[in-house]
Chains A and B, each alone.
Chain A
Amino acid sequence: MARWRSGRRNIDELNAWQKADEFSTLLHDTCSELHVDRNKEWLIYLLNQAGRLMRDALEEGWNRTYLAEYLLGISEALTFVALIDYYLVFLRHEGYLTVERAHEVEGRLSDVQDALTALAGRLREELRASPEGSLSSFPWSVN
């Protein structure tokens, strides 16, 4: 099994995590600046939560037992990226975000997405290449 805990670096040394962490802070700051109607306050809460969960999913995956679970953490983080993307589009359409601010935030989100996607790709390669990788570690691999 691809256990991998020992000898690892701290997660905050990882480029993808740094980007996610910085984005989470940027998102928080952006949300703090927004003046939304009272009936849209939940949206600010949700965006902040998604930013936090994106970062936490990475960290949680990093701290799990298997390499595959780290990959799963990245998949979950990418899922939160999609949620943030969806609501940023809405806020821009509705005029809550200025075009400049939207470009900045969406650009940084895109950077995070690219970094996570690239990282997931590299991990998948590692898992495929490893003799203890996913397919060979299957208890029920067939053919």
Chain B
Amino acid sequence: MLSKEDNELLCRVGPGTPMGDLMRQYWIPAARSDELPAPNGPPLRVRLLGESLIAFRVTSGKVGLIANSCPHRGASLFYGRNEAEGLRCVYHGWKFDVTGACVDMPSEPPESNFKHKVRAVTYPCVERGGIIWTYMGTRETPPPLPDLEANMHPECRVTTMIRDCNYMQALEGDIDTVHFAFLHMGHLTLEDTYEGNFLHYQVKERAPRYAVTDTEFGTCYGAYRPAEADTYYWRFANFLFPCYTQIPPGTLAVNRGFRAWVPMDDEHTMFFGIAAPPAGGVTVFPERSKRQDVDARRGSSQRAGLGITEMLPDTTDWYGRSRPKADASNDYLLDREKVQRGESFTGLPSVVLEDQAITESMGPIYNRSQEHLGTSDIMIIRTRLRLIRAAQALRDKGEIPPGVDQPEFYRQRSGGVILPRSVDWFEATRDLRRAFVEYPEEFVLETIGERRPT
């Protein structure tokens, strides 16, 4: 439960809002690099933090991000001509480079110096690991990019999907660990699991206990359940300022991925899923079920709930990129017969779409003054407090929020691990939670309570 004022503070991200100002302290993902595949290619409409922007790749390959409205008469630069290191407004021919400088103003007399007095609003962009990052803040020299491991890996993979709701309710789904055992795995019984793997422990005890802590990068929780007589199964997940999560499925010692919930505006979010091969090349599946294995043998990963989400072709609309075929207009392709057959808890096509449907069903901006958060929602509570207090500290005292100038804070991992009950959960996993470390396979297997069959 939040007061209406705090909910507004948490959710509104437009220019001049406390949370919008906080977001603008950081580099944030604006688009995938492959959305601007070629120099001088078609510009791209991008909504970001409530602003309407046009992304374009110029002749040299650099990317520009410019305010939609031409500073001359307000025409949309989406219709601009992308030519020779700049974007030219087709209305009167004014041309801007990636820094916002007006480099040509053919509608004014040749002797006029007016073009040197005019600048378009632009934001600096850099590309790394298939993401176009932008900085929308006020510093002349932007802060460093965050050291997010997957995005710095040569085999970084980026997927995007629009979500028609506020960024915070989408993000909160990632740090709400209990829902996994219900929304995604509620149909499974112990007989569907392999004894001794992570899923087995989750199904056996669907309500874990928690330890949550504030960290230098945001918040971290460890959810634990009994595993064997003298061990616990722990799931670690992170929230990292301002809009990143690292989720708990998989193996802590090798997980490299992270997720970004980038606010397009108050009611739309672009999800960026960033993945890289497991550290050390160690591939393990501690959460597989027997059903998944059967389905995989049949070649039906979709039925196992892990299938690739079918996407609509991108359109040039502000909200036309990365849109799944299943959405509210078709009830997310709900199939209640799958529930009857015991194949799914929800009847929705996949894990991704289960999350999508549920968080969008809460409305464009969830009204948190009506909710009833309980003791199992503590990570959500702590993360909200952290964000709200950081936004207030920035607004009231000019305090720079965590991680802006400390890229190393982002060197984190999340995932599952089996720990002896005799060890301190936080200290014992300090090394495992650290990114850019590779462990031998035998060691990784021990951390999940497995050994390779000999």
Contacts and interface: CB of A to CB of B under 8 A. Distances in A.
B213 A75 contact: yes
Contact of A79 (B378, B424, B446): B378
Size category of the binding interface on chain A: 35 or more
A43 B3 CA distance: 14
B235 to A, nearest CB: 15
Contacts of A93: 3, 5-6
Contacts of B423: 68, 134-135, 137-138
A68 B375 contact: no
A85 B373 CA distance: 13
B396 interface: no
Nearest to A76: B211
B210 A82 contact: no
Interface string A50-92: 1001000000000011111101100110111011011101100
Interface of A: 1-3, 42-43, 46, 49-50, 53, 64-69, 71-72, 75-76, 78-80, 82-83, 85-87, 89-90, 93-94, 123-124, 127-128, 134-135, 137-140, 142
Given A46-B372, A135-B427, 9 more contacts: A69-B421, A78-B213, A79-B212, A79-B378, A90-B1, A139-B446, A140-B447, A142-B439, A142-B443
A107 B401 CA distance: 25
Interface in B212-240: 212-213, 224
Interface string B1-39: 111011000000000000000000000000000000000
A68 B426 CA distance: 10
Interface string B168-183: 0000000000000000
B422 A85 contact: no
15 contacts: A1-B422, A3-B422, A42-B372, A46-B372, A46-B374, A46-B375, A68-B424, A71-B425, A75-B211, A86-B382, A138-B423, A138-B428, A140-B443, A140-B446, A142-B440
